[in-house]
Amino acid sequence: IENFGAFVEVHVATSIEECERRDRKGLYKLAREGKIKEFTGISDPYDVPESPELKLETEDFEVDYCAQQVLLKLEQMGLVAA
């Protein structure tokens, strides 16, 4: 993709609650306890992308489906062969 000079923004949309549920390292807990400063979504703002090429609602779909959607988008954009 870099050969084409393309930048493709994919918004992996997930609620903060789901991010915390999936957090295997306990980083969200540490951030809520103030042990990690400037943690995005907790003590630092999270900015939703304004116009991503693709938005994936990860709470609604499995990882394989989301990965397939990324590949389909790249194909549609002519960045990878079908």
The token pair at 35 is: 């042990």
Whether 37 is covered by a domain: the verdict is yes
Query: Of 2-11, 17-26, 36-45, 69-78, where does mean pLDDT reach its minimum?
Result: 2-11
Number of domains in the chain: 1
Q: What pLDDT is recorded for position 2?
A: 63
Mean pLDDT (whole number) for 2-23: 89
Q: Does 82 fall in a domain? A: no
Question: Which residues have CB under 8 Å from 57's CB, separation 6+?
Answer: 13
Helix, strand, or coil (residue 28)? helix
pLDDT one-digit tens code per residue, 40-81:
999 999 999 999 999 999 999 999 999 999 999 999 998 888
Domain enclosing residue 23, as ranges: 2-76
CATH code at position 50: 3.40.50.300
